[in-house]
């Protein structure tokens, strides 16, 4: 052992010092923590976990909005591209930017829909797991 127990005098009626009792206390504490976490998990999943998931999914939407930036294209829709200030350059630039705005906005809407579906799957996942577990246990 890494410590010397010969000088330790036991208290009360016990005659031997048993370092094994510490392991029993640790295992009891671990089992109790496991039970508390098991009971607390559904409450966490649908309160604080949902809040964290919503924040994460909003961050995903913000990142894709920054990457696609359809509103930046919309802001500059009347600015001619490549310094072509004549009417042909302005006309081509307008329609090119309009097409870019439309397709980027559609891509952003598709991404928002995908993120919303992922959130619904995240909410339904524990219920689905419990349903499938009970279905497999009680099916004959």
- Could you list the residue range(s) of the whole structural domain that residue 112 is in? 51-138
CA-to-CA dists, residue 62 to 31, 68, 112, angstroms: 42, 10, 10
Closest among 12, 107, 120 to 61, alpha carbons compared:
107
Mean pLDDT confidence for 58-77: 90
pTM: 0.71
Residue 123 falls inside a structural domain: yes
Residue 4 counted as domain residue: no
In a domain, 113, yes or no: yes
Compute the C-alpha angle 52/68/94, nearest 5°: 150
Of 122 and 27, the structure prediction assigns the larger pLDDT to 122
- Give the pLDDT confidence of 69-127 residue by residue, as tens digits: 988 888 888 888 887 788 888 888 899 999 999 999 999 999 999 999 999 999 999 99
Domain count, the chain: 1
Q: For residue 12, what pLDDT is reported?
A: 53
């Amino acid at each position: 052992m890494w410590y010397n127990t010969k000088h330790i005098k036991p208290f009360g009626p016990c005659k031997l010092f048993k370092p094994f009792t510490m392991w029993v206390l640790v295992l009891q504490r671990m089992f109790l923590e496991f039970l508390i976490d098991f009971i607390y998990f559904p409450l966490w999943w649908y309160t604080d976990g949902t809040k964290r998931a919503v924040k994460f999914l909003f961050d995903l939407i913000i990142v894709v909005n920054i990457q696609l930036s359809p509103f930046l294209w919309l802001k500059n829709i009347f600015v001619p591209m490549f310094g072509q200030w004549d009417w042909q350059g302005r006309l081509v630039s307008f329609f090119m930017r309009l097409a870019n705005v439309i397709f980027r906005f559609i891509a952003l809407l598709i991404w928002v829909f995908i993120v919303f579906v992922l959130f619904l799957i995240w909410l339904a996942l524990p219920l689905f797991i419990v349903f499938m577990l009970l279905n497999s246990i009680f099916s004959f």
